[in-house]
Amino acid sequence: MIPYARQQVIQADIEAVVAALQADFITQGPLIPRFEQAVAAKTGCLHAVAFNSATSALHAACLALGLGAGERLWTVPNTFVASANCARYCGASVDFVDIDPATWNMSTVDLEARLVRARRERRLPKIVVPVHFAGQPTEQERIEALAREYGFRVLEDASHSLGAKRQDERVGSCRWSDIAVLSFHPVKIITSGEGGMALTNDADLAASLGMIRSHGITRDPRRFQRPAAAELDGSEPDPWYYEQQFLGFNYRLTDIHAALGLSQLNRLEDFVVRRNHLASRYQAALQGLPLRLPTVQTGNISAFHLYVVRVDSGDGGRFRRQVFNAMRQRGIGVNVHYLPVHLQPYYRALGFEPGQFPESEAHGAGALTLPLYPDLTDAQQDQVVAALRQVLAHG
């Protein structure tokens, strides 16, 4: 079976992990700040805080941005459930913005229309979470302009898009957002096994993220709330002293994972180049077939985490299902990104219904993800294309 995605692990990665295992600290050691600094340098942000998953990082980011019960977070239905669930962990409610039919990213037209209505009805969101679907940056500068006008914070779910650019600005630089979150799950651009990172240019947000990651604890004397006893007699705080100031979590990454992530980061540019090479080969080879191919907006460089085509047959997804099954029978591990989040039973139980987000639903009914990962050979890709041609011709 040719899978839809797969990590690349080379000897240098293995050696880096083995060295981490032999070091003095296998967690909370020196590799965590080194990994954070390396990702900050690659993306151009000031602060990076490593987490044990993007899901934890999204939760921590919502808390750091002050999301609480009774408040609202908006994201797209065309994403992994984690982009929405982070609000639910905070007791906040979730609503959705439909996708743009060309990019399959958050529609800034739909976003503005919903903001106009929400302002009138006094239920504006506190946080908006754009997702760079399949690796293509969203219209961040437009979303930032709306954030200023309507007073919400921007949390980028950049799980698909490490290495992507918009208008020469690297994803993760946070030029147009408060926080951006990366995932290092094995199917993503680089992997640490499991892992994630929150990026920001705001030192206070970075400090909060660091505390949320580890029980709400700080060891930074400048942030102590109760140095009073020490201050009164003019002495330093006790060297073992730390403070838990609120209820945090253990969302820490280990040095073992960071070692793998750091080693993989050396190949980020190679990964993105190879992914783009394979995407343009698909683009050329699939011309003329009854499919909608992904488009990359002018000014964007996609990281091509996924290569998603649309089999739009207007039959509620029946033909897509045939194509999916026939491809799997031929040993091609196609997938679907994404079943719209609002149609998941958990979100249906919160009151969402089919028909509310038609572009996301049409996408969910037609999407087919073809194999794309750095080690996919051109010959294997030709095999995928040949299988798809056959299947589309014979049903």
Ligand X SMILES: *Cc1c(COP(=O)(O)O)cnc(C)c1O
Residues forming contacts to ligand X in the complex (CB under 6 A) are 53-55, 79-80, 82-83, 131, 157, 159-160, 183, 185, 196
Whole-number minimum distance, CB 132 to ligand X, in Å?
Answer: 8
* Residue 132 · residue 138 · CB < 8 Å: yes
Place of tokens 């509310």: 356
Q: Which is nearer to ligand X, 137 or 385 (CB)?
A: 137
Burial of 135 (0-12, 13-18, 19+ CB in 10 A): buried
Q: Which is nearer to ligand X, 79 or 300 (CB)?
A: 79
Whole-number minimum distance, CB 57 to ligand X, in Å?
Answer: 8
Q: Which is nearer to ligand X, 180 or 286 (CB)?
A: 180
* Residue 244 · residue 216 · CB < 8 Å: yes
Q: Which of 296, 331, 289, 285 is nearest to 310 (CA)?
A: 289
How is residue 117 written in tokens?
């209505």
Q: Which is nearer to ligand X, 60 or 115 (CB)?
A: 60
Whole-number minimum distance, CB 336 to ligand X, in Å?
Answer: 13
Separation between Cα atoms, residue 385 and residue 278, nearest integer Å? 12
How is residue 255 written in tokens?
């040095």
Q: How far is CA 52 from CA 45, 57, 261, 393, in A?
A: 20, 8, 12, 45
Separation between Cα atoms, residue 139 and residue 129, nearest integer Å? 12
Q: Which is nearer to ligand X, 189 or 368 (CB)?
A: 189
Whole-number minimum distance, CB 224 to ligand X, in Å?
Answer: 32
Separation between Cα atoms, residue 103 and residue 241, nearest integer Å? 51
Whole-number minimum distance, CB 180 to ligand X, in Å?
Answer: 12
Q: Where do runs of H (alpha helix) occur along 26-134?
A: 31-43, 54-64, 82-89, 108-120
Q: Which is nearer to ligand X, 82 or 174 (CB)?
A: 82
Whole-number minimum distance, CB 305 to ligand X, in Å?
Answer: 8
Provide the β-strand partners of residue 47.
200
